[in-house]
Amino acid sequence: MTQPGLVGGLFRSFSETERVPNAVLKFATQYGHLGVRKLIAVDAPQETSGRKSFSMRWAEPLQSWFNEIDEMDRLVRAWDSGWTGVPTTRKIKQTVAHIADRLIYSWSTELGQGTEVLASQDLRPWLLERLLPLDSTKSIRRALRCYLQVAVNQKLKLNEVAVQLLWDRKDVELGLSMVPSTLAGFMWLQFATAIQGNVAHRRCEDCGHWFALGGRLGRSDKRFCSGTCKMRAHRKKT
């Protein structure tokens, strides 16, 4: 059974957050800290000797937010470009090439570009056997999808998403649940769940937030994320 909250579209809203302090502050005020903390040195009151001292404190640097937004944005684009059919102007160019017994993944967007090794004899050698030869559009698409799998799995691990035995709501049965320890972990888990179920999303025509579609999540032609937004939009027209 899918856990509550994991079929939403918060990860999409996060991926579209502007890389500016005010936008990050607005997201953090609404949803909380990412949980990507670092020890940083801060100025402490000067001592009588006149020398400046420093103390170490846990904090979430703004750059950590920017980095996490960039990663989510890039991988959501990668997913949308090949599998979701979500109409978007947020494009990404991706290639996988076989060079010197390595599979090299490259990407570029209007925000930047990068290259990394997807597989080699030393790094995920099992992928070499699975993906080679790259001799057709189908094989390249399969390689791109495997890159998405590897990248999201790495983010789940880095953000400490754990599997735990938990009681159900009636305290009757125990079941395995995926448990994120941070907001960042929750959003990566939500993204992974969307990939697993090929969950479609749409932006609410009133508030602009993303929401999931289909099945028990609501009709595929649903236009608003909630009854409140639907009523508010109706009132704007009258």
Residue 81: inside a domain, yes or no?
yes
Q: Are residues 109 and 27 in the same domain?
A: yes
What distance in Å separates the CA atoms of residue 179 and residue 163, rounded to the nearest whole number? 6
pLDDT in tens, the chain (238 residues): 445 467 789 999 999 999 999 999 999 999 999 998 776 666 665 555 566 666 777 788 899 999 999 999 999 999 998 776 666 678 999 999 999 999 999 999 999 999 999 999 999 999 999 999 999 999 999 999 999 999 999 999 999 899 899 988 888 899 988 899 999 999 999 999 999 988 888 888 888 888 888 655 556 678 888 888 988 888 888 7
Which range of residues forms the domain containing residue 88? 10-42+54-199
Residue 133: inside a domain, yes or no?
yes
Residue 58: inside a domain, yes or no?
yes
Residue 234: inside a domain, yes or no?
yes
Q: Are residues 209 and 229 in the same domain?
A: yes
Distances (CA, A) of 42 to 28, 48, 77: 22, 18, 37
pLDDT at 224: 86
Q: Are residues 192 and 208 in the same domain?
A: no
Domains in the chain: how many in total?
Answer: 2
Q: Are residues 155 and 233 in the same domain?
A: no
pTM of structure? 0.85
Residue 3: inside a domain, yes or no?
no
What distance in Å separates the CA atoms of residue 43 and residue 56, rounded to the nearest whole number? 9
